[in-house]
A and B are shown apart, each in its own frame.
Chain A
């Protein structure tokens, strides 16, 4: 039973005030900015949807969107697949030192993405990293992981390293809450390990997997920190429109095109939400079936 009073507002007002300031107001302000154009000569003019039509036919914007979409389609399944395998292995009760595995594989989550990227840049870099050492020692000619053709894969590797343990733990937590009587019943039926995984564990992981996928969709579309930091280690590999977020950042800070930048940010925010929502809808429909 809850009480219908005005006191509830007092509890929520501080949060709502700040929420308005850092969520609602920026969205409204960028929507406002997106329908104007500012020029050094001529000042600010109302242009309606011109910025949007410009964005939709802007090859640099599309290249950025395509890149993060590719990243999403390749990196996310690999990362979640690995997380799932490790979670199942730890949960199987057949590992020596399972507790150590769980904590150690999770640890990279505590490393800030800036530090993770700097490390990867040094570690894999040709200059004084492992690839350089291996090439020197074995006389090989392995490609530079920070070269333009490889840098997206390297970023995928960095993001996988950062988040595989976090996702593993979300899935592992999902496995932990499975009712023990289900396993007892399976044992009575003489079900083997693989059968238990298929019939009990994987269905129970559906919800956690959907959550992990949605977080990963958002993370991929909003990719920024890793390429931005790598830019200082491999300047020729990261373009000013490498991801949509980098493009919006560059437009605002290097290009002074704040109206167009706000349009890009808004478009990508909406696109991220739509894709996450569609995925959720599909996942739920699958569950109902």
Chain B
């Protein structure tokens, strides 16, 4: 997108790799600053605490007791059991669907972006510049702006209300391609490729055996971005899917919540809340465990804009 030559030039002049954390003198800690920043911390954490507390309550306690403290009964495990058994256990189905959409969508998007980014970085071919220009333009096109047109097109092709209607759009990540292009340019030395070619290795073999391990940090970053996008996907499934058996978790929870508005609909706020808690746990755990990767990855992403 835009260039930030100042940061990178400064890092290059110092002869240091730009991503290496700079060693700093330990400073005097400030209690005042910690408390002031703590306000933001409370702002960020409070809704999550509320969600956990609420998931331990029965529906009556949910309506009758103060939101930020536990109710009379600790009903978390009953709520989880109810969530998984309500409507013949459709919640488990949604979990499975989400996993499939995320693994195939985010995994596929990352692989395709890596292949194409590497291809654009390491091979000169007719039309390369045109391809690059069009894909970069794609970064600026907001995916939601394309949702309705994509639906209309997929309807013509008979793809709506199938898993493909959700998976295919999430396979394409122009921003991921852009990141993989920069990583390939910088992390894969041409000399290694040349010597492998002299040994008679095929190009795809070189890519998978030699280049991919070198691209690993970049791959993890792109994968994490794609994971979040696929896990959070809502607009596409909402317009593409009618059959509740195909819903991802986001759409499923939305539909349970809507039930309260329909005449004679079952009010299941306790299940919506418990389901929400279950929905955010996997990504939260993944983020906490993969901290090292996404933090360095974000650094790379923001500097290389």
Name A178's contact: one of B10, B28, B43, B251 (CB within 8 Å): B10
Q: A49 CA to B62 CA in the complex, in Å?
A: 53
CB B135 to nearest CB in A, in angstroms, measures: 7
Q: A113 CA to B27 CA in the complex, in Å?
A: 38
Which chain A residues border B24 with CB–CB below 8 Å? 93, 180, 183
| Contact indicator per residue, chain B 146-171, by CB within 8 Å of chain A (1) or not (0) | 11111111001000000000001101
Which chain A residues border B195 with CB–CB below 8 Å? none
Which chain B residues border A30 with CB–CB below 8 Å? 148-149, 152
CB B257 to nearest CB in A, in angstroms, measures: 5
A104 near B44 with CB under 8 A, answer: yes
A94 near B27 with CB under 8 A, answer: yes
Please report which residues of chain A, range 109-143, place their CB below 8 angstroms from some CB of chain B when the two chains form the complex.
109-116, 118-120, 122-123, 127-130, 133, 137
Name A93's contact: one of B27, B121, B251 (CB within 8 Å): B27
A108 near B44 with CB under 8 A, answer: yes
B257 near A16 with CB under 8 A, answer: no
Contact of A105 with B41 at beta-carbon distance under 8 Å, contacts A115-B279, A232-B254 already known: yes
Contact of A207 with B2 at beta-carbon distance under 8 Å, contacts A82-B40, A94-B28 already known: yes
Please name the residue on chain B nearest to A211 by beta carbon. B305
Please report which residues of chain B, range 209-253, place their CB below 8 angstroms from some CB of chain A when the two chains form the complex.
228, 231-232, 234-235, 238-239, 249-251, 253
Which chain A residues border B134 with CB–CB below 8 Å? 19, 24
Contact of A252 with B152 at beta-carbon distance under 8 Å, contacts A93-B24, A108-B48 already known: yes
B148 near A248 with CB under 8 A, answer: yes
B118 at the interface (CB under 8 A from A): yes
A262 near B148 with CB under 8 A, answer: yes
B299 near A114 with CB under 8 A, answer: no
Q: A94 CA to B40 CA in the complex, in Å?
A: 16
Q: A210 CA to B2 CA in the complex, in Å?
A: 8
Which chain B residues border A127 with CB–CB below 8 Å? 63
Which chain B residues border A245 with CB–CB below 8 Å? 144-145, 147, 235
Name B284's contact: one of A1, A8, A110, A262 (CB within 8 Å): A110
Q: A19 CA to B138 CA in the complex, in Å?
A: 9
Q: A277 CA to B283 CA in the complex, in Å?
A: 33
Please report which residues of chain B, range 251-265, place their CB below 8 angstroms from some CB of chain A when the two chains form the complex.
251, 253-254, 257-258, 260-261
B30 near A177 with CB under 8 A, answer: no
Q: A26 CA to B4 CA in the complex, in Å?
A: 33
Name A130's contact: one of B7, B68, B301 (CB within 8 Å): B68
Please name the residue on chain B nearest to A269 by beta carbon. B145
Please name the residue on chain A nearest to B284 by beta carbon. A110
Contact of A118 with B44 at beta-carbon distance under 8 Å, contacts A113-B234, A249-B148 already known: no
B198 at the interface (CB under 8 A from A): no
Contact of A179 with B231 at beta-carbon distance under 8 Å, contacts A2-B122, A211-B305 already known: no
Which chain A residues border B81 with CB–CB below 8 Å? none
B27 near A115 with CB under 8 A, answer: no
A262 near B172 with CB under 8 A, answer: no
Contact of A12 with B120 at beta-carbon distance under 8 Å, contacts A115-B253, A283-B2 already known: yes
Contact of A206 with B144 at beta-carbon distance under 8 Å, contacts A104-B41, A164-B44 already known: no
B200 at the interface (CB under 8 A from A): no
B11 at the interface (CB under 8 A from A): yes
Which chain A residues border B112 with CB–CB below 8 Å? 14-15, 18
CB B144 to nearest CB in A, in angstroms, measures: 4
B133 at the interface (CB under 8 A from A): no
Contact of A269 with B142 at beta-carbon distance under 8 Å, contacts A3-B123, A173-B299 already known: yes
CB A200 to nearest CB in B, in angstroms, measures: 10
B272 near A176 with CB under 8 A, answer: no
Q: Which of A24, A112, A235 is the most central at the interface, judged by chain B CB atoms within 10 Å of its CB?
A: A112
Contact of A161 with B27 at beta-carbon distance under 8 Å, contacts A8-B119, A19-B138, A207-B7 already known: no
B85 at the interface (CB under 8 A from A): no
A22 near B44 with CB under 8 A, answer: no
B87 at the interface (CB under 8 A from A): no
A22 near B276 with CB under 8 A, answer: no
Contact of A280 with B1 at beta-carbon distance under 8 Å, contacts A114-B234, A122-B269, A179-B11 already known: yes
A7 at the interface (CB under 8 A from B): yes
CB B114 to nearest CB in A, in angstroms, measures: 9
B116 near A14 with CB under 8 A, answer: yes
B26 at the interface (CB under 8 A from A): yes
Contact of A92 with B27 at beta-carbon distance under 8 Å, contacts A112-B279, A207-B3 already known: yes
Q: A92 CA to B239 CA in the complex, in Å?
A: 46
A153 at the interface (CB under 8 A from B): no
Please name the residue on chain A nearest to B120 by beta carbon. A12
Q: Which 9 pairs between the two chains have the least Cβ-Cβ distance?
A: A207-B4, A11-B119, A8-B123, A269-B145, A173-B299, A15-B116, A8-B125, A30-B149, A26-B149
10 contacts between A and B (CB under 8 A): A8-B124, A12-B119, A15-B115, A15-B177, A22-B169, A94-B29, A94-B33, A111-B284, A169-B295, A265-B147
Q: Which residues of A contact B (CB under 8 A)?
A: 1-12, 14-16, 18-19, 21-27, 29-30, 33, 82, 85-86, 89-90, 92-97, 101-116, 118-120, 122-123, 127-130, 133, 137, 161, 164-165, 169-171, 173-174, 176-183, 203-204, 206-208, 210-211, 214, 218, 221-222, 224-225, 228-229, 232-233, 235, 245, 248-249, 252-253, 258, 261-262, 265-266, 268-269, 272-273, 276-277, 280, 283-284
